[in-house]
Structure 1
Amino acid sequence: MTNAPRKLISSGSPFELEMGYSRAVVDGRWVFVSGTTGFNYETMSISEDVTAQADQCFRNIAKALEQAGASLADVVRVKYIFTSPQDFKPCLPVMKTYFGEVRPAATLIIAGLVDPAMKIEIEVTALKPD
């Protein structure tokens, strides 16, 4: 049996070409979605509100997963990176909206992000159904 070739998925963001990465990589049934911020890639804008950023992160991730043949329901691992511990609680309802039923394994980190406008970044790993 031969392995399926890796598939690279792009959001169309100029950051991907500048940094040399893909929004997501599909390897067999596994989908690895890069850390995703709250930028709206169609307008290249970002809200100042952390909950709006979190919602946009999930929409960006869902779009990448869809291109990979998966969905948020297939996510098995999530990593949240916040720039401020105070932003965590306001985002809980957003996180629950998207993952309340899925309940993937999770990690939460407080760290600086490359652009001060970014308040949250979310990375996921999904396993596509057979």
Structure 2
Amino acid sequence: MNVIHPQDWAKPKGFSHGVVVEGPGRWIVLAGQTGDEDGTFPAELARQADVALQKIIRLLKEAGGGAEHIVRLTWYLTDREEYAEAGAGIGAAWKATLGRNFPPSTLLYVSGLVDRAAKVEIEVTAFIS
């Protein structure tokens, strides 16, 4: 993958504006991940994000991939202020699961998710060449 980043643009923090993927390979598309495997939800948003990211890594491993293969993340969040307050914890969860990979990401604020206790849901698209 090659990151698309015009030289005259400010460097984005925690994501890339785009990537180019060339050559034969496999696409992996993951449904939005929330909550623990047993269907429970931690109370804190940062912990929910950590759980979702860990589940994403587990699913990618099942498909023969890893964090380095993620080409797009879409985050659905229920509370703008809580997300801002959870920044350090989310950053730590990111570092522990995704490392220094910063694929294109979109964050959306929604009025709620299917599971009422869910505060974040993360979808992933990955490509393995």
TM-score (norm 1): 0.70
Instruction: Classify the secondary structure of the residue corresponding to 2:121.
Output: strand
Please state if 1:77 is matched with 2:72: yes
- For 2:29, the equivalent position in structure 1 comes to 32
1:77 counterpart letter in structure 2: R
- After TM superposition, the runs of 4+ consecutive aligned structure 1 residues lying more than 4 A away are none
Aligned residue pairs, count: 100
Aligned partners of 2:107, 2:33: CA distance in 1, in Å?
Answer: 14
- For 2:120, the equivalent position in structure 1 comes to 120
Question: Over the residues paired in the alignment, what is the CA RMSD in angstroms?
Answer: 1.6
How far is 1:85 from its partner?
0.5
TM-score (norm 2): 0.70
Higher-RCO chain (CA-CA 8 Å, sequence separation at least 6): 2
How much identity, in percent, do the aligned residues show?
32
- For 1:95, the equivalent position in structure 2 comes to 94
Q: Note the alpha carbon deviations across 1:43-84, whole angstroms, 9 max, x for none.
A: 332111111110000111111111111111110100111001
- For 2:4, the equivalent position in structure 1 comes to none
> Residue 67 of structure 1: which of 62, 68, 74 is its match?
62
Aligned partners of 2:82, 2:128: CA distance in 1, in Å?
Answer: 31
